[in-house]
Copies of this chain bind each other. A is one copy, B any other.
Amino acid sequence: MTTPLRLGIAGLGTVGVGIVRIVQKHGDLLAARAGRPIEIVAVSARSKSKNRDVDLSGYAWEDDPVSLAARADIDVFVEVMGGHEGPAKDATEAAIAAGKDVVSANKALLAVHGQALAEAAEDAGRVIRFEAAVAGGIPVVKALTEGLAGNDITRVMGVMNGSCNYILTRMQDAGLSYEAVFDEANQLGYLEADPELDVGGIDAGHKLALLSSIAFGTQVDFDGVELEGIGSVTIEDINQAADMGYKIKLLGVAQLTGRGLEQRMSPCLVPDTSPLGQLEGGTNMVVLEGDAVNQIVLRGPGAGEGPTASAVMGDVMDIARGFRISTFGQPAGTLRKARPARAAVPAPYYLRMQLLDKPGALAKIAHALGEAGISIDRMRQYGHDDTSAPVLIVTHKTTRSALDEAIAAFGSTGVVAGDPVAIRIEAV
């Protein structure tokens, strides 16, 4: 097979330009490895005149990605535009309809419309690959779908939003508040135009939903992801956690239990000596657990021109080499509908609240926990101002629903000021 594989690239931001650079720089290397040349035929982006510091003169230009997707002279539609509706969706659908394979970096699109797109691709005999949509340069989709294909996957975990991990580690290192570091990150351009996509856990939640589908053979279900952002994490929580030997991470966890599919993306305490606990700055880490392999941990850059383009090219090379696989690792029609289960797996929790300086206050809290069947592992009360004192409790293993019951009961004790903060302690 020495006919070239012809790409049409939609989106010439950082990632798109990165792909162009790789194809231009490594033509011989790619051809040697794939057994055929990889060629860019056409590109599309919003502005043709923007200087991108890369030579696009050899490629046809399309203003409309939908037109690009349908061109007769491309084999693979590479979608690196982003957005889960509008042009990205239209163009991806058009590409499949026109009989093109699709390589996508678009986590939002696939997390929301993945099942429909997978079915459409299957009907058309085309593949959709999306390594770049999850954890940037780390080949985690490949590891899970192919490398661990002999395993019953028991748990998938990951720190998959570099901006959040940057904020949390920077808070700890510099002793700064969430607000201060958020502003800093925003000014440095580390956050999405809508920062809530990052700090609200949505971007990472999209990634987790994609991994869950592959891991458990379920239809991708982003709505089933319990989302909790990092906005409520204070520098005090980080310091308290550190005192107890933990770090706070925005951690995604997916597990299939008897009660259903649990998908959480939320701040968690993890042991500071664990690989996840030691992860600093913008790096991503994914932990895959299976019944045969036990546990593997993958670490690498979660974003950026080179790493994301590397992931896109991995998919392109697979297609060039003739490797065709179902979007989520098995035929779309065989993926079961997930039954969402909220935090079904019990865990210890870290609880922080402001306790009013009233007689018997602590006893009332302890009683409310006891009534909910929650026992206390550790408790600390700190020096206080005139009217209230911070109290920190680490519970023994409990369910989130029992905890919510106890927290609701705190309200009627009349001794808690404001809302208690509860952070799960994840065994990693």
A-to-B contact residues, CB < 8 Å:
18, 22, 25-26, 29-30, 32-35, 131, 137-139, 142-143, 146-152, 217, 275, 278, 290-301, 304, 306-307, 309-314, 316-318, 321-326, 329-331, 334
Residues of B within 8 A of A142 (CB): 139, 142-143, 146-147
Chosen A-B contacts, 17 in total, with CB atoms closer than 8 Å, are A18-B292, A29-B217, A32-B217, A137-B294, A139-B296, A143-B143, A149-B318, A275-B278, A290-B310, A292-B307, A292-B309, A292-B313, A293-B307, A318-B323, A321-B323, A322-B323, A323-B325
Q: Are A294 and B306 neighbours in the complex by a CB distance under 8 Å?
A: yes
CB distance from A323 to the nearest CB of B (A): 4
How many identical chains are in the complex?
2
10 shortest A-B CB distances, which residue pairs? A150-B313, A139-B147, A296-B300, A149-B317, A292-B310, A293-B310, A292-B306, A137-B293, A297-B299, A323-B323
CB distance from A45 to the nearest CB of B (A): 20
CB distance from A62 to the nearest CB of B (A): 23
Closest chain B residue to A151 by CB distance? B310
Complex CA distance for A323 and B149, rounded to whole angstroms = 13
CB distance from A5 to the nearest CB of B (A): 12
Residues of B within 8 A of A146 (CB): 139, 142, 314, 317-318, 321, 323
Q: Are A294 and B307 neighbours in the complex by a CB distance under 8 Å?
A: yes
Interchain CB contact (< 8 A) of A150 among B143, B148, B314: B314
Residues of B within 8 A of A322 (CB): 322-324
Complex CA distance for A290 and B25, rounded to whole angstroms = 13
Interchain CB contact (< 8 A) of A148 among B32, B149, B152, B310: B310
Closest chain B residue to A23 by CB distance? B150
Q: Is the interface of A mostly helix, strand, loop or mixed?
A: mixed
Q: Are B18 and A149 neighbours in the complex by a CB distance under 8 Å?
A: no
- Give the residue among A292, A329, A330 with the most B Cβ atoms within 10 A: A292
Residues of B within 8 A of A150 (CB): 22, 26, 30, 309-310, 312-314, 316-317
Residues of B within 8 A of A306 (CB): 291-294
Q: Are A33 and B314 neighbours in the complex by a CB distance under 8 Å?
A: no
Residues of B within 8 A of A321 (CB): 146, 323-325
Complex CA distance for A316 and B292, rounded to whole angstroms = 15
Complex CA distance for A315 and B151, rounded to whole angstroms = 12
Closest chain B residue to A30 by CB distance? B150
Interchain CB contact (< 8 A) of A149 among B143, B278, B313: B313
CB distance from A377 to the nearest CB of B (A): 26
- Give the residue among A150, A309, A316 with the most B Cβ atoms within 10 A: A150
Closest chain B residue to A326 by CB distance? B35
Closest chain B residue to A305 by CB distance? B292
CB distance from A108 to the nearest CB of B (A): 22
Residues of B within 8 A of A317 (CB): 146, 149-150
CB distance from A142 to the nearest CB of B (A): 5
Closest chain B residue to A324 by CB distance? B322
Given known contacts A150-B313, A314-B146, A330 and B293 CB-to-CB distance under 8 angstroms: no
Residues of B within 8 A of A292 (CB): 18, 22, 137, 306-307, 309-310, 313
Beyond A26-B151, A139-B146, 14 extra complex contacts between A and B, CB < 8 Å: A22-B150, A22-B151, A32-B334, A139-B142, A139-B147, A142-B143, A149-B314, A150-B312, A290-B310, A293-B301, A293-B306, A298-B299, A322-B322, A322-B323
Complex CA distance for A312 and B143, rounded to whole angstroms = 13
